[in-house]
Chain A
Amino acid sequence: MRVLNVITVTALVILCMSGGAFAASGSDAAHTGAEQALRTYKGMPMWDQFNFNSADELNSAVVGDGVPVFAFDATKLAADASTLESAMNDANMVEFMVKGNNRDVTRLTVRKTDAGYVRYRFGGSAPRLAQGLASLPASAKPDVRLVLMGAAEFLYVRLPNQELLIAINNVSVGGIPNFKVLTGTKALTMLSELAKGMMKDGAVPGGGLGATAPQQRAATSPWAAPSLVTTIFASGGLYYYRIRRNRSAV
Chain B
Amino acid sequence: MGGWASESRTGLNYFGVTSTQYTGTLSYGTIKTEINSSRPIYAEIAWLGPNDAVTGRHVQTIDGYYNDTNYGVTDVTYVESTQNQHYSEDYNFFTYDAGPAGRKWEAGLWKFAKKP
Which residue numbers of A lie inside 8 Å of B, CB to CB? Answer: 39-41, 43-44, 46, 49-50, 69-71, 73-75, 89-91, 93, 119-125, 128, 148, 150-153, 169-171, 173, 195, 198-199, 201-202, 204-212, 219, 222-223, 225-233, 235, 239-240, 242-250
In the assembled complex, the Cα of A236 lies from the Cα of B3 at a distance in Å of 25
Question: Which residues of the other chain, B, contact A246 by a CB distance below 8 angstroms?
Answer: 35-36, 64-67, 77
Does B38 contact A244, Cβ atoms closer than 8 Å?
yes
Known A50-B88, A206-B2; 15 more pairs at CB < 8 Å: A46-B86, A71-B100, A71-B101, A75-B49, A89-B50, A151-B83, A152-B82, A169-B82, A204-B3, A205-B57, A205-B107, A208-B46, A219-B3, A227-B7, A248-B65
In the assembled complex, the Cα of A23 lies from the Cα of B70 at a distance in Å of 33
In the assembled complex, the Cα of A230 lies from the Cα of B70 at a distance in Å of 36
In the assembled complex, the Cα of A91 lies from the Cα of B77 at a distance in Å of 22
Does A211 contact B69, Cβ atoms closer than 8 Å?
no
Q: Say whether chain A's binding surface is mostly helix, strand, loop, or mixed.
A: mixed
Does B5 contact A231, Cβ atoms closer than 8 Å?
no
Question: Which residues of the other chain, A, contact B5 by a CB distance below 8 angstroms?
Answer: 205-206
Cβ-neighbour of B106 out of A46, A74, A205 (below 8 A): A205
Cβ-neighbour of A73 out of B35, B49, B54, B69 (below 8 A): B49
Question: Which residues of the other chain, B, contact A233 by a CB distance below 8 angstroms?
Answer: 15
Does B11 contact A229, Cβ atoms closer than 8 Å?
yes
A249 with B68, Cβ < 8 A, contacts A150-B47, A206-B44 known:
yes
Which chain B residues in 34-91 approach chain A with CB under 8 Å? 35-36, 38, 40, 42, 44, 46-47, 49-50, 53-59, 61, 63-71, 73, 75, 77, 79-90
In the assembled complex, the Cα of A223 lies from the Cα of B8 at a distance in Å of 8
Min CB–CB distance B78 → chain A (angstroms): 9
In the assembled complex, the Cα of A222 lies from the Cα of B76 at a distance in Å of 27
Cβ-neighbour of A204 out of B40, B53, B57, B86 (below 8 A): B57
A40 with B68, Cβ < 8 A, contacts A125-B85, A222-B10 known:
yes
Which residue numbers of B lie inside 8 Å of A, CB to CB? Answer: 1-5, 7-8, 10-12, 15, 32, 35-36, 38, 40, 42, 44, 46-47, 49-50, 53-59, 61, 63-71, 73, 75, 77, 79-90, 93, 99-101, 106-107, 109
In the assembled complex, the Cα of A75 lies from the Cα of B53 at a distance in Å of 9
A202 with B56, Cβ < 8 A, contacts A219-B4, A227-B8, A246-B35 known:
yes
Among A152, A211, A231, the most chain B Cβ lie within 10 Å of the Cβ of A231
